[in-house]
A and B are shown apart, each in its own frame.
Chain A
Amino acid sequence: MSPTPTKMERYWKKNLQTLALLLFIWFVVSFGFGILWVEELNTIRLGGFKLGFWFAQQGSIYSFVVLIFIYVIRMNALDREFKVNED
C-alpha cells in the first residue's frame, strides 16, 4: 500500500528540513571554521592546537562522522513515524 500524497509530502518536507540543517552544520565546520574564518579561530587555542587549524585537520572530520549518525537516527525515527520503514 503506498502512502497518500499529502502524507508523502509531509514526510518529504521533514526529510528536506533535516537535510538543510545537517548540511548547514556540514558547511560551517569545514568551509566556515576550516577555511573562511580560520585566522579568527586561530587566535583561540585548544591545547597545543590553534583552533582553526584543528578544525581544518581534525574537527571537521569528527563532525562529519557525527552528522551522518544523527542523520541515520533521525531518518529511522521519521520512517517509523510515517510508517514507510522497511520492516
Chain B
Amino acid sequence: MDLLTWTYLLVGLSFALYIGIAIWTRASSTQEFYVAGGGVSPLANGLATAADWMSAASFMSMAGIISFSGYDGSVYLMGWTGGYVLLALLLAPYLRKFGKFTVPDFVGDRYYSNKARVVAVICALFISFTYVAGQMRGVGIVFSRYLELPIEWGVVIGMAIVFFYAVLGGMKGITYTQVAQYCVLIFAYLVPAIFISMQLTGNPIPQLGLGGDVAEGVPLLDKLDGILADLGFEEYTSGKKSKSDLFMITLALMVGTAGLPHVIVRFFTVPRVRDARLSAGYALVFIAILYTAAPAVAAFGIYNTIQSTSEKPIDALPEWVTNWQQTNLIGIEDKNGDGKVQYLADPATNELRIDKDIMVLASPEIASLPNWVVGLVAAGAMAAALSTAAGLLLVISTSVSRDLFKTFRPEISEKKELRIARIAAAGAVLLAGYFGINPPGFVAEVVAFAFGLAASSFFPVILLGIFSTRINREGAIAGMLAGLVFTISYISYFKFIAPELNTAAHWWWGISPEGIGTLGMALNFLVCFGVSYLTPPPPKNVQELIQEIRIPKGAGKAYDH
C-alpha cells in the first residue's frame, strides 16, 4: 500500500477508536462530566494524565528543539518532568482530599472569597485558551503534511472529533480516550526511535543508544560535539545559555507544570488520596518513557541530518530530504554555487534550513522504515494534540458552568448545569478552532505566558493554602494579582512592546521572559506573606478545613457541596 493510504487507514482507525470509546462512556451527571464520577483507577489516571500532558509540542517539536540547542534543551526535559515531583508531594493528595471539582473551587473555599475564585477562573481560562489554540493548529499541520489536506480542513475535522467526545463524554469520555491516545502516541514515538538507535549504535534501547558508539567506535555524543564544533556551532553537550537563566527557566517550567489546571484536575478523578499519590507516580513513568527517548531522537536526528547533507552534492541527496523540501520544512540554497550543501553556524554562508519538527516527523523516512510507520507517526501526533486539547476544553467548560454560573446562581439544577457545561465546551471548541485556523501571530510566544502565569498565580496560593494556616483571603488575592501583573508585564514588554530589546543585556538579572515566572512566583509568595500578616487570620472553619485536608482519612468521592 502507498503512504497516503496507510496514513488515512491508521489515522481513520484511531479516530474510530476514540469515537467508539466516547459512545461507550457517555457522561450522565455533572459528577461524571467534571471528574469521571471519581472512580478512575490510579493506573488509568496515570495513562490519561500522560496523554493529557504531552501535547503536539512534546510529540513533534521537543526533540527538534533539543537537536538544535543540545545541552540547553535540558531545561524542557527537566522542567516538564520535575514538576510532577512537586505535584505529587505538595499538591495532588491534598487537593484530592479537598474533594471538589476545580482549582478555582479550592481557591474560593480556602480563601473564603468569590473575588479570589474569580481571579483564579480568569487565570485558568487564559492559560487554557492560549494552550488549546496551539493544539488545534497542531492537528491542522499534521493533516496538511500527511493527508495533503488544507490546514483549515484539518482543524475542522479535529474540532469535530474533539467536539464529539469532549461534549458528550465530559471527563469520563476524555479519560478513557486519553488512555487509548497514550498507547497510540507512545508506540508511534518509540518505533522509529528504536530502529534508528539500532542502525546508528546497534543498541535497540534509544536511552542507552544515546550513550552508545557510532560505527567508528567513537561515542555518538563525542562525535557530534566534534562535527558541530567543526561547522562553527556550540558543542552539543555544552550550551550557550547562562547558568542563572537555565536555572530560572527550569524552575519556572517545573512550578508552572505543577500549577496547570488541566493537569491538576486529573487528580480529582481517582477514588482515594493514596490513589492520587500513586497515579502521579504512574503518570511520570509514562511521561518519562517519551521524555528520556526524546533526547536520543534529538541527537540521532541532528547526526543523521548532518551526515546525509553536509558537503554532499545537491542533486544526489537522500530521498527524504527532497520529499520534505516540498513541504518547505527543509530549504536548500546554494549560496557559493559549488553544487554542494554547506551546513554552517554562520547565517551568511549556511545553505541548509531545517525546521525543528523534521526530527520526529521525518524520522521513519530517515531510518528507511516501511510506509505504515509514517502513518503511525501521523496518528501519534494527532493523538498527542487531540488528548491535550480535550483536557483543556474540559477545564474551560467547567470554569464557565461551575465556577462562574453555579457560584453566582447556586439555585440552577444539576441537569441545567450539565447543559451549560456542554454548551460551554461546544463554544470553546469553536473558539479554539477559530484560533487554530487564524492563529494569532504570537502562538509560539504564548507558551511562555501559560507556564509563567501558572507558576506566578496558582502554585504559591495553592501551596500556602495547604501548608500554612495563617495565609488569608487578603494575602492570597494580593499575591495572585502581584505575581500575575508582574509576569504579564515582563513577558509583554520583551515579546510584544519592545522585542528588539529582548536580549540578555536588557533582561533583569539575566532572566529571559521564559524564566520570569520564577521571579513572579517569588513575588507572589512575598506579597502573600506580607499582606496576610498585616491582616486578620482566616476564620475558624477555614482553619478546620486545612487540618481536614492534611490527613487522608475520610476522603469520599469528589462531591458537590
Set of chain B residues within 8 Å of A19, measured between Cβ atoms: 89-90
Choice from A15, A48, A53, A58 contacting B292 with Cβ under 8 Å: A58
A42 to B288, CA, bound (A): 23
A69 to B278, CA, bound (A): 7
A46 to B219, CA, bound (A): 11
Which segment of B242-250, B479-487, B503-511 sits at the interface?
B242-250
Within 8 A of A (CB), among B50-68: 66
Q: How many A-B residue pairs have CB under 8 A?
A: 137
CB distance from B94 to the nearest CB of A (A): 10
Check: A68 CB closer than 8 A to any chain B CB: yes
Quick check: A54 and B88 within 8 Å, CB to CB? no
Set of chain A residues within 8 Å of B277, measured between Cβ atoms: 68, 71-72, 75-76
Check: B280 CB closer than 8 A to any chain A CB: yes
Set of chain A residues within 8 Å of B66, measured between Cβ atoms: 57
Check: B166 CB closer than 8 A to any chain A CB: no
Within 8 A of B (CB), among A34-49: 34-36, 38, 42, 46-49
Interface of A is mostly: helix
Choice from A49, A50, A62, A65 contacting B281 with Cβ under 8 Å: A65
A13 to B554, CA, bound (A): 20
Number of A residues contacting the other chain (C-beta, 8 Å)?
A: 44
Q: Which residue of A lies closest to B236 (CB)?
A: A53
Quick check: B78 and A34 within 8 Å, CB to CB? yes
Quick check: B288 and A61 within 8 Å, CB to CB? yes
Quick check: A60 and B82 within 8 Å, CB to CB? yes
Set of chain A residues within 8 Å of B278, measured between Cβ atoms: 72
Check: B552 CB closer than 8 A to any chain A CB: yes
A54 to B66, CA, bound (A): 14
Quick check: B273 and A86 within 8 Å, CB to CB? yes
Within 8 A of A (CB), among B149-206: none
Quick check: A64 and B82 within 8 Å, CB to CB? yes
Quick check: B85 and A49 within 8 Å, CB to CB? no
Residue from A23, A50, A68, A84 with most neighbouring chain B CB atoms (10 Å):
A68
Quick check: A50 and B221 within 8 Å, CB to CB? yes
Q: Which residue of A lies closest to B79 (CB)?
A: A30
Q: Which residue of B lies closest to A39 (CB)?
A: B238
Check: B550 CB closer than 8 A to any chain A CB: yes
Set of chain B residues within 8 Å of A71, measured between Cβ atoms: 88-89, 277, 281
CB distance from A65 to the nearest CB of B (A): 5
Choice from A34, A49, A67, A87 contacting B74 with Cβ under 8 Å: A34
A49 to B243, CA, bound (A): 20
CB distance from A85 to the nearest CB of B (A): 6
Check: B291 CB closer than 8 A to any chain A CB: yes
Q: Which residue of B lies closest to A50 (CB)?
A: B237
CB distance from A37 to the nearest CB of B (A): 10
Set of chain A residues within 8 Å of B212, measured between Cβ atoms: 47-48
Q: A62-B292, A64-B84, A71-B88 are in contact. Are A56 and B281 (CB under 8 A)?
A: no
A85 to B246, CA, bound (A): 40
CB distance from B455 to the nearest CB of A (A): 15
Residue from B78, B219, B555 with most neighbouring chain A CB atoms (10 Å):
B78
Q: A47-B211, A61-B78 are in contact. Are A53 and B284 (CB under 8 A)?
A: no
Set of chain B residues within 8 Å of A26, measured between Cβ atoms: 82, 85
Quick check: A72 and B77 within 8 Å, CB to CB? no
Set of chain A residues within 8 Å of B221, measured between Cβ atoms: 48-50, 53
Choice from A11, A35, A68 contacting B246 with Cβ under 8 Å: A35
Q: Which residue of A lies closest to B88 (CB)?
A: A68
Quick check: B237 and A36 within 8 Å, CB to CB? no
Quick check: B219 and A86 within 8 Å, CB to CB? no
Quick check: A68 and B85 within 8 Å, CB to CB? yes
A83 to B246, CA, bound (A): 43
CB distance from B559 to the nearest CB of A (A): 15
Check: B5 CB closer than 8 A to any chain A CB: no
A46 to B238, CA, bound (A): 16
Q: Which residue of A lies closest to B237 (CB)?
A: A53
Q: Which residue of B lies closest to A22 (CB)?
A: B89
Q: Which residue of A lies closest to B214 (CB)?
A: A48
Check: B551 CB closer than 8 A to any chain A CB: yes
Q: Which residue of A lies closest to B548 (CB)?
A: A2
Set of chain A residues within 8 Å of B210, measured between Cβ atoms: 48-49, 57-58
Quick check: A86 and B272 within 8 Å, CB to CB? yes
Quick check: A84 and B78 within 8 Å, CB to CB? no
Within 8 A of A (CB), among B383-427: none
Check: B222 CB closer than 8 A to any chain A CB: yes
Quick check: B77 and A57 within 8 Å, CB to CB? yes
Set of chain A residues within 8 Å of B74, measured between Cβ atoms: 34-35, 53, 56-57
A-B pairs with the 6 shortest C-beta distances? A48-B219, A56-B74, A48-B211, A68-B281, A57-B295, A84-B551
Q: Which B residues lie at the A interface, using CB under 8 A?
A: 66, 71, 73-74, 77-78, 81-82, 84-85, 88-90, 93, 207, 210-213, 219-222, 237-238, 243, 246-247, 250-251, 272-274, 277-278, 280-281, 284-285, 288, 291-292, 295, 547, 550-555
Q: Which A residues lie at the B interface, using CB under 8 A?
A: 3, 8, 11-12, 15, 19, 22-23, 26, 30-31, 34-36, 38, 42, 46-50, 53-54, 56-58, 60-62, 64-65, 67-69, 71-72, 75-76, 79, 83-87
Give 17 new A-B contacts, CB below 8 A, not counting A34-B250, A53-B71: A8-B547, A26-B85, A30-B78, A31-B250, A34-B74, A35-B247, A47-B212, A48-B212, A49-B210, A61-B78, A65-B284, A68-B84, A71-B88, A72-B88, A84-B551, A84-B552, A87-B272
12 examples of A-B residue contacts, CB within 8 angstroms:
A8-B551, A22-B85, A26-B82, A53-B71, A56-B71, A57-B77, A64-B85, A64-B284, A65-B288, A72-B274, A76-B277, A86-B272
